[in-house]
Structure 1
Amino acid sequence: MIPLNDLLLFAGTALLLVLTPGPNMIYILSRSICQGRGAGVISLFGVVAGFVVHMLAAAIGLSAIFMAVPFAYELLKYAGALYLLWLAWQAVKPGARSPFEAKELPPDAPRKLLLMGFLTNLLNPKVAIFYLSIFPQFVVPAHGSVFLQSVTLGVTQISVSFVVNLLIALSAAGIASWFARNPFWLAAQRRVMGFVLAALAIRLALEQRRAA
């Protein structure tokens, strides 16, 4: 299966990505502020359900790709690097919005909160591209089933995302208030995230394919 060092590196990558600007975190943060912690947590479970769909689709798709088109790894590797560079630019470009900046949302019933969380994630291109471009960097056919490796990575990513977003949902008001009072750190958070993502993109692009 996946070596521990690679799994830890992947978990770190997942942590960076969950902290970058995106619909999921903005929705959960905004929902928690506008309707309370409970609404934020319900929305989070909807987001997790969306992750499961993305994970299974990616695991099945990657299994087929590795079996049918081995050199596709190189294409996916560079696609992943370009995707990370794009995220880095999104974090630092003029007028960029931090995920810690909430927006006003009207109150909704629990069922709708769950559905909206699910759809927000399911239709989020950031998540789909992450699964299809970052997963292959950590999957090596020689380590066993590509499908099981992909599921292991998916469960790791979902766990990291769940913990981070749960903490945000439970402390959304305090987080948003602190960043509102400290705009310098709001900008610094985006710049640091952009630098780290760019560095990771370069690392992945230069990494040599390990023998299968």
Structure 2
Amino acid sequence: MTNILGFISYIIVASFSPGPNALLSMAHGGKYGLRKSLLFNWGIFVGVLIVMNICAFFSRLLLTVFPGFQSVMVWIGAFYILFLAWQTIKSKAESETTTDEEEHIFFQGMLLQFVSPNTLLYGITVYASFILPNYETPTALLSFSLLLALVAFIFTACWTIFGALFQHILRKYTYWVNLVLALLLVYSALALIWRSL
């Protein structure tokens, strides 16, 4: 790889920056505690792994055959992020969750990766700019997908740990914390739309 420092910098900044994955990880950490909310992070891991594999094998195809793909995903992703903002603002602090709620958290983390233009654009960009010019074998592309999913898990888990450490404060000020997180999600959605215009 010709620009390994650029590659490492890009994946760290893209994975740690406060987007929907990070904000929802922190919110779940504050709401459910560390152990239960890590299911959301595992969902992110599985979703990112699948999406990165799709991006690895179809990034060139998507950009050449379907040039409108990017703008469609921006709008779908923005509306989904706004839906998550609405869910965040109306949620209440809870100390216990049921198995169904825990499974919902896992699938929410996984589904978010499929509709998030950030994840798709990140995958297409990292493969087109750093990986595909140097590596084309299926084993290499699968290995990079696993690496990118692992990095996403580690950094979103950091946000979850932050939310869990300050759980008592987050529960005491649930409404205000949820309002701030929802506004940040709305900002993320509007920023996506603004960049697509």
1:3: which partner in 2? Answer: 7
Cα 1:201–1:136, aligned 2, differ >3 Å: closer, same or farther? farther
1:104: which partner in 2? Answer: 94
Larger helix fraction of residues:
2
Once the two structures are superposed, the pairs formed by residues 42-191 of structure 1 within 5 Å of their partners are: 42-66=35-59, 71=64, 74-87=67-80, 89-90=82-83, 96-98=86-88, 101-104=91-94, 106=96, 117=102, 120-122=105-107, 124=109, 125-130=111-116, 131-132=119-120, 134-140=122-128, 141-145=132-136, 146-180=141-175, 183=176, 187-191=179-183
How far apart, in 1, do the equivalents of 2:178 and 2:37 lie? 23
Gaps of 5+ in 1: 32-39, 207-212
Residue 191 of structure 2 is aligned to residue 199 of structure 1: yes
Residue 20 of structure 2 is aligned to residue 17 of structure 1: yes
How far apart, in 2, do the equivalents of 1:67 and 1:200 lie? 22
Gaps of 5+ in 2: none
Cα 1:81–1:193, aligned 2, differ >3 Å: closer, same or farther? same
1:37: which partner in 2? Answer: none
How far apart, in 2, do the equivalents of 1:72 and 1:28 lie? 41
Q: TM-score, normalised by structure 1?
A: 0.62
- Opposite residue 170 of structure 2, the aligned amino acid is I
Cα 1:118–1:155, aligned 2, differ >3 Å: closer, same or farther? farther
**Number of residue pairs matched?**
183
- Opposite residue 78 of structure 2, the aligned amino acid is L
